[in-house]
Amino acid sequence: MGYTTYTPSIATENEVYSMNRLEGKVVIITGASGGLGKQMALRFAQEGAKLAICARREKKLQETKDLCQQAGAQVLAMVADVSHHDELKAFVEKTAETFGTIDVLVNNASTISAPHPFLEHTINDLEEALHSGLYGTWQMMQLCFPYMKEHGGSIINFGSIGGVNGLEGFAAYAAEKEAIRGLSRVVAREWGQFGIRVNCVCPNVITDRFEEGIHQSPKEIQEYLIGNMSQNAMHRPGKAYEDFTPAALFLASEDSRWVTGQTLHVEGGAWISA
């Protein structure tokens, strides 16, 4: 299968025609210092959202904040590690204090280690995956619930095609992501009565972090990585801002008011099944 050469692009506020689909909505995004978190923050800022973003990397988080403010958004940025409950609690409370409520929660933050066989995985590998992804998602949902139950809202959690399809070498990561999908379905049923929607996304797109790894690799490795990311129905790699953020926007906005408990695959048809 052939593939289209990938050309990195930098998203700006001029690249999208805003329809103000999140006008006045208070949106929390974890892991917003780069990758999908950064791109979602920018897209949501362009759609009128008030943003509360967190991450562990202060300098990179500030860069995201600056971009979103340039797009016209009010932004609260706090350094927080999603594996630390006290830091998350302080972040959520500060968000509510600053903006008055919480409408949308995007549980994006997670870590992923280099692939290695299951028999070489340790309990530490599993604990790291669970604390960064599952525990953070679990805690953020519980912390945000008191604010969302009054008027409804949307929660976007992150699964992975690595879990859905059992990619070799990613046992801990896949276990964590599938746990998040199961948790999301349960909470969707329990919280639907409050008008709170809970959905998962499974993306497969190139982000700025992926680009950094590509650019530091030999040409043959670059070609292999891009080719691998192009093994889908569209015959090209997906781009975070252009191809993924519109789907996240759909789930965050009232356009998805009748969608909950679902997993949305945003990966160009990489894993088409019956």
Residues annotated as catalytic are 173
Any idea of the CA torsion for 124, 267, 153, 185, to the nearest 10 degrees? -60
DSSP 155: E
Distance of CA 37 to the CA centre of its chain: 5
Token couple for 21: 């689909």
Q: How many CB atoms lie within 10 A of CB 114?
A: 6
107 phi and psi angles, rounded to 5 deg: -90, 80
- Tell me how many degrees the CA angle 110-145-85 measures, rounded to the nearest 5: 45
CA distances for 139 relative to 119, 131, 195, angstroms: 30, 10, 20
Task: Identify residue 182 by its one-letter amino acid code.
Answer: G
Q: Of the candidates 154, 134, 250, 247, which has an alpha carbon nearest to the alpha carbon of residue 197?
A: 154
